[in-house]
Amino acid sequence: MTAFSRFTPLAQSLPATVPFVGPEAIERQRGLKVQARIGANESGFGPAPSVLARITEAAPEIWKYNDPENHALKTALASHLGIRSDNLVIGEGIDDLLGLIVRLVIEPGMPVVTSLGAYPTFNFHVSGFGGRLVTVPYRDDREDLDALLAATRREDAPLVYFANPDNPMGSWWDAEAIITFARALPETTLLILDEAYSETAPAGSIPPIGALIDRPNVIRTRTFSKAYGLAGARVGYGIGTAGTVQAFDKIRNHFGMPRLSTEAALAALQDQAYLEDVVLRIKTARERIAAIAAQNGLLALPSATNFVAVDTGRDGVFARAIVDGLMEHGVFIRMPGVSPLNRCIRVSTGVAADLDLFEQALPDVLRRFR
């Protein structure tokens, strides 16, 4: 008798994959307690007090569904960015939007171009919808724009993913290079320009909104999870032409946005003074992580994000030993997933107490494995 499966052939062919193993799972698996949570690129500085106050104030309305059109948040974002609200789509974090974009564009077997070692959740969505990943290596620890363009043209790919600033290396390109890249792509190729770390990027690295807003083959994704300190609220948004954005209404979860998350994002957007303060604190923390690395004979790579990639000078085995060794001290960090990027460890910025623990534990871990 043939075994019956209720799942599609595609679903049956996929491995049970979790793109990122969370610190909670590591605690359960290893019986260890996370003392310094500086591995998931969250903001240990948290949201603004005004945001927490608004969440508390709005909590009694949690019995209501959120506005399925996300009118208030789109209107506020449009005013903040200087665009129209019909240029915006709201989603449950960038991860949700990435899945929707792949679903809109990719059918089984279609090629999708990205960098080898770039954000793995995007790859997860591509595989989940049957796309064929085409990857190009990083060059000098940056995503290679020339190679991405060449692969896109060679494969006639309908979708290409590029993050600026980049995760996991923290590297970036200047705005003009990105604009040139976007304009050189075939009209049949949709570019996902992931700008999750745009608030922490240096001046001149983020293209002006107006530079790409009229291109129907560009969708820019941003989030409240990083500098705004709302990772647990899951609020992301996409910026594109009205026609591109409208397509999301065909497939998105119209009641997916939590009501309190929307209120939190609205309050966060209004408190730009707090955002400016956090960006300065992130910069200070990056400098401290670099100093700790140097004190231990490691090299911190330049970073435009809320984390720092630290070159261990060895290989992925050595970097993994450091990651695991630090966890024994309660310090949770991560590392890139593929060679040669995985010679690095990745440390998120955080409050002084968390970086104190990292500074104390790192020398002991290195002594054990050197």
Nearest of 105, 152, 141 to residue 125 by alpha carbon? 105
Sketch the domain layout of the chain as residue ranges.
20-46+273-369, 49-270
Give burial (CB, 10 Å; 0-12/13-18/19+) of 330.
middle
Report the CATH number of the 20-46+273-369 domain: 3.90.1150.10
Fold topology of 49-270? Aspartate Aminotransferase; domain 2 (3.40.640)
Q: What is the pLDDT along the chain (370 residues), one digit of tens a residue?
A: 455 688 999 999 998 887 888 999 999 999 999 999 999 999 999 999 999 999 999 999 999 999 999 999 999 999 999 999 999 999 999 999 999 999 999 999 999 999 999 999 999 999 999 999 999 999 999 999 999 999 999 999 999 999 999 999 999 999 999 999 999 999 999 999 999 999 999 999 999 999 999 999 999 999 999 999 999 999 999 999 999 999 999 999 999 999 999 999 999 999 999 999 999 999 999 999 999 999 999 999 999 999 999 999 999 999 999 999 999 999 999 999 999 999 999 999 999 999 999 999 999 999 998 7
H-only helix segments in the chain: 9-13, 23-30, 49-58, 71-81, 93-105, 120-128, 145-155, 175-184, 209-212, 242-246, 259-270, 272-295, 316-328, 352-369
Residue 306 per-residue DSSP state: S
